[in-house]
Structures are given as structure tokens and as C-alpha cells.
Amino acid sequence: MAAAAAKRPKTSPKAVKFLFGGLAGMGATVFVQPLDLVKNRMQLSREGAKTREYHTSLHALGSVLRHEGLRGLYTGLSAGLLHQATYTTTSLGIYTVLFERLTGADGTPPGFLTKAAIGMTAGATGAFMGTPAEVALIHMTADGRLPPAERRGYRNVFDTLLRMAREEGILTLWRGCVPTTAQAVVVNVAQLASYSQSKQFLLDSGYFRDDILCHFCASMISRLVTTAASMPVDIVKTRIQNMRTINGKPEHRNRLDVLLRVVGRKGFFSLWKGFTPYYARLGPHTVLTYIFLEQLNRGYRRLFLST
């Protein structure tokens, strides 16, 4: 028994795994923040106007550049970084810990249903922890589309959080927590199921081998399915998190009210408004997160765990 324990490879401490998860997510966010901003602007575009505020993702991107400059594309970056520091740190850390704990003594990984349960638990917990930063991100990215007289002029994520708590109450920071958690569960389930099925389909076609090209193609198909499944939940979440209180009453009564308003005014397919930037963001962010995470883990093993 002692010999087996001695041969067991060293692993990084749990605190380091949590830290690296957050740092990896923050590094990826620096690259994809403009896509997040465009997605939020499109989902919050004015209703009831005779003409669309934004026709396409490129139109929204051009409008931001024209009115706010290149720097405007990174509005809300501090909130995006804080969101990754809370959401990704929590979700990746919990997933890693639970995965290792449920791995068999002989190294057998957990089964599919167990992995799905781990993913949903980690995603839901991370979503709850990251909700305040995400609410701040929605407010900051939406501020530039308001008329100059109505803009709040947030300086950074901490200024946003303090002002929201002071002006609207501390519970406002968890506004939209239920749809945020629901979205995290949908994303994790959709990713796990669609990736497995896509990979098997590609291998069965005879044109792919179990290599990086197959994994990349299966990942992109999985992203497409995941985006389509989670967009309606995301647009409800975004509108609830950005709603105002008018004469003491919230702008929307509940999540169903948001859905009915969006579909009634803009049509059923408006639930997928912002699909292109959302899909374009989801793939690179995931890929970059795991690239950064792998490099951080590799560097830690080389510096601190090498014999």
C-alpha cells in the first residue's frame, strides 16, 4: 500500500486548481470581451421602434466603433474579469475536485451520467457566485446605447456594484440568478450530450479518426447545439438583469413576462437575437480557457512538482 502511495503522481493543491481556473477564464475574456458586448447590445436593442437598432452583428460592432471608439469595445472588461474570477474559478474548481473524488481507485473515470451531474452542480454553483459580476457586466455594456442624459457613467465593476446596491438594494446584485443558473445547467448538459454524439457520428462516418481534428469538429458542432439551446434562456437573463424599477415597480414581472413580450413584439426567432456573436464567443472562449489552463498547470508541474 505504501509503495502504491509513493508511486502515485503528485498533483497540484486544490487552491491552485481553483486559482488557475479563474486565471485561465480571465485570460480568455480579454480576447472575447468585444463579442460579449455586441451580444448584449443586440439582445437589449430597442423594442417597438420602426426600424431595428441593430440589423446584424457587424452593424452593432460598427455602431460601437463609430460612437464609442475602439476603447468602447472593451466597456465592462473589469466586470467580465471579475465574473471569470468568480464563476470560472468556482465551476472549474468544483468540477475538478468532484471528478477526482468520484474517480475509481484504479483510475476509472466517472460514467456519463455522473459527469453530467458533476457538470451541472459545478455550473450552477459557479453561476450563483458569478451573478453579481454578470449583472454589473450587463449594466456596463448596455450603458453606451442609452441617450447621453440617461447614461450612468460607471467607472469600473466595483463602482457599478456599489451604486446598484446603494440605489436598488443588495438583492439586485443577484437579479436574474434563477435564469443564470438554469442557463449554466442547460449549457453543461447540452455540451456533454452533443459533444459525445457529434464525436461518435464523425467517427462512424469513416472520414475522421480519433484525433485533434475530430475533437475540434465535434466541439464546433457541440457549440452550435449548445448556443441554440441556451440562447432563449440567455436573452431572458440579460433583460431581467438590465431591467429598471419604474415608479417602484420592476419593468418585468417574471421570466414568462419577458418571453411573452419579446416574442409578441419581435417574433419567435427574436429569442435567438445575438446568435452569431454568442456562438463566436462561446467557441474561442472555451478553447482559450483550456489552452491557458493547460499551460498554467504545465508550468506549475515543471516548477514545483518536478523531481
CATH of residue 101? 1.50.40.10
Contact present, 119 and 96 (Cβ < 8 Å): no
Quote the cell numbers at residue 17: 486548481
Residue 97 lies in a domain: yes
pLDDT for 154 equals: 93
Q: How many domains does the chain have?
A: 1
Contact present, 77 and 33 (Cβ < 8 Å): yes
Inform me whether the pLDDT recorded for 47 exceeds 70: no
Residue percentage of the chain with pLDDT more than 70: 91
Q: What's the chain's average pLDDT? A: 82
Most confident of 17-21, 62-66, 184-188, 193-197: 62-66
pLDDT for 2 equals: 47
Residue 3 lies in a domain: no
Contact present, 193 and 237 (Cβ < 8 Å): no
More confident residue, 201 or 248: 201
Residue 4 lies in a domain: no
- Domain hosting 59: range is 12-305
Q: Burial of 135 by CB count in 10 Å (0-12 exposed, 13-18 middle, 19+ buried)?
A: buried
Residue 6 lies in a domain: no
Confidence grade of residue 245 (pLDDT, cut at 50, 70, 90): low
Sign of the Cα pseudo-torsion (162, 164, 166, 170, in order): negative
pLDDT for 209 equals: 86
Residue 61 lies in a domain: yes
Inform me whether the pLDDT recorded for 291 exceeds 60: yes
- Residue 152: CB atoms within 10 Å: 15
- Residue 303: CB atoms within 10 Å: 8
- Residue 86: CB atoms within 10 Å: 21
The rounded distance, in Å, linking the Cα atoms of 101 and 285 is 27
The one-letter code for the residue type at 77 is L
Q: What is the pTM of this model?
A: 0.74
pLDDT for 83 equals: 92
Inform me whether the pLDDT recorded for 262 exceeds 70: yes
- Residue 239: CB atoms within 10 Å: 23
Contact present, 83 and 133 (Cβ < 8 Å): yes
More confident residue, 248 or 225: 225
